[in-house]
Amino acid sequence: MNLKFCCSGFTCCTSGSHLAKEGLDARVPQEEIAPLYDRVSGIYDIWGRLAESHARRRAIDLAAIRDGETVLEVAVGTGLAFLEIVKRNPHGRNMGIDLSQGMLSRARKRLAQVRGGNYEFSTGSAFHLQAENDSVDLLVNNYMFDLIPYEDMDKILAEFRRVLKKEGRLVLVNMTRGERFGSRLYETLYRLSPRAMGGCRGVCLSDKLREHGFFVVVREYHQQMLFPSEVILARP
């Protein structure tokens, strides 16, 4: 098990769920998320490549996709990770859902470049997944929990657990709390203007995952453009 424990001041990523809750909570209401991402969908990829590409790439590596699997990406966004998933799983089933029509429309354009890819997109919420119980081999979810209030995370993790097969994998990337030089910059920006940060603040999901019976196989910290991300591989 590769678990990183880090603690500095009140932004503490360590065991003990009370500590995990000490960070900032979400300050952009859920009903504003879809319109917010509809508005930024045209420029999202600039940020997505500059500050998040290393963590997203690592998530795809950890996912170890085997062709023929059933893969669900929740909060698929503009399809930056989904493109890689579909390329690696041409004979499997690939599903991407998101709240934002604007982000989905970008994802559809991106995926149009894949010939013969087997994929489907739909508008949907992480709170109510359409997938059947025990039907998904791999669930990928990047940079969404950082938008979710702590009190709502349990509902989503219960949904993830419900749809994943017993031997399935969960790969998560989140904006996390800074652990290195300069990484607190984004926390300050969030305090000043949560919407300018796309509603994202740093979170640490390992403890929540364990509370829901997941086994955290890997938790890594990545920092790009001073932006702190965690990449997690977990199993039900």
Ligand X SMILES: C[S@@+](CC[C@H](N)C(=O)[O-])C[C@H]1O[C@@H](n2cnc3c(N)ncnc32)[C@H](O)[C@@H]1O
Residues forming the site for ligand X (CB under 6 A) = 33-34, 37, 48, 56, 74-75, 77, 80-81, 98-100, 103, 125-127, 142-144, 147, 198, 200
- The residue (of 16 and 29) whose beta carbon lies closer to ligand X is 29
Give the residue closest to ligand X by C-beta.
Answer: 77
* Closest distance to ligand X from the beta carbon of 105 (Å): 11
Q: Is 112 exposed, middle or buried (0-12, 13-18, 19+ CB in 10 A)?
A: exposed
- The residue (of 168 and 199) whose beta carbon lies closer to ligand X is 199
Distance of CA 194 to the CA centre of its chain: 18
**Which residue type occupies 69?**
E
Q: Report the C-alpha gap between 169 and 148 in whole angstroms.
A: 21
Is-contact 191 25, C-beta < 8 A? no
Residues 6+ apart with CB under 8 A from 16: 207
- The residue (of 70 and 142) whose beta carbon lies closer to ligand X is 142
- The residue (of 119 and 143) whose beta carbon lies closer to ligand X is 143
Backbone angles phi, psi at 123, to 5 degrees: -75, 130
Q: Report the C-alpha gap between 32 and 199 in whole angstroms.
A: 9
Q: Which residue has the tokens 């938008």?
A: 147
Q: Report the C-alpha gap between 216 and 16 in whole angstroms.
A: 14
* Closest distance to ligand X from the beta carbon of 126 (Å): 4
* Closest distance to ligand X from the beta carbon of 72 (Å): 11
- The residue (of 98 and 137) whose beta carbon lies closer to ligand X is 98
Q: How long is the chain?
A: 236
Q: Report the C-alpha gap between 17 and 39 in whole angstroms.
A: 34
- The residue (of 12 and 141) whose beta carbon lies closer to ligand X is 141
* Closest distance to ligand X from the beta carbon of 15 (Å): 27
132 CB neighbour count, 10 Å cutoff: 10
* Closest distance to ligand X from the beta carbon of 209 (Å): 17
* Closest distance to ligand X from the beta carbon of 147 (Å): 5
